[in-house]
Structure 1
Amino acid sequence: MTDITSIDATGSVSGGLRTVLRLEGLTLLAGMTLLYAFRGGPWWLYAVLFLSPDLSFVAYLAGPKIGACAYNAVHSTIIPLGLLTVGFGFAPPLVVSLALIWLAHIGFDRALGYGLKYSAGFGFTHLGRLGRGATKV
């Protein structure tokens, strides 16, 4: 019997749970993109900002610990979900659009297997190892 909750030797999720987390990312991408479409946000803004969270990669120039911290700050759902919550109630529509695009990007990354980073280096994520030396589970 396969254990859906297995963790590999690097502390990364593996097996069926990894698949569930990647599907969750795909669902986040699809859901936020649909919400953006239903709200009538401009697609040029979506196209321009969709990959902007990846500018956090620049922080890796200061080392893997700082890079991982910056990447995780921008690729966690905490801030954009907060923006979305505030945006629906109190902020201009642009705030909601920014939050939806940001969450769609996070979903896209997770669906591709780019998880939150460990300070050991860019390739070490909670969804498994990336690049050379990665094993597919």
Structure 2
Amino acid sequence: MDTRLTFVTLAVTDLAATRRFYVDGLGWAPAFEAEGEVIFFRVGPTVMLSLWTRAGFEAEVGPLAAGGGIPPLTLSHNLPDTAGVDRVMKDAAAAGAEIVRPAQQREWGGYSGYFADPDGFRWEVAYNPGPLGVELMQAAGLA
């Protein structure tokens, strides 16, 4: 198996609320949608974010773990500067996101903040001035 990721799938509680957040709030355009079941967003040339109803997810993948706390993962959106981070955090808040950690300078040299989508999935919005961050922005045509 080669080192590649093509889909990230999240099981969501209320697909209509999730759709309103990503489509109406953040302005994302679905690449595919099966109404009431799943929405796909192209988040890179070969990567899709799939938002699937919990029932559909469990029917195919198996039962979800029960317990408190937040889902044990973050999704990240990197930008080429701090102003972009502030803009996206503001847009996310306007779309209804909970700002979990306001954007701030980090000890690792970057600048980032976190928001939660309607299901509590954490999005990191970051500016990473290090070599890997610069490489990712160049690959995305943003630097």
**What's the TM-score bracket when you normalise by the shorter of the two chains?**
under 0.3
| TM-score calculated relative to the size of structure 2 | 0.27
Q: Which has the higher strand share?
A: 2
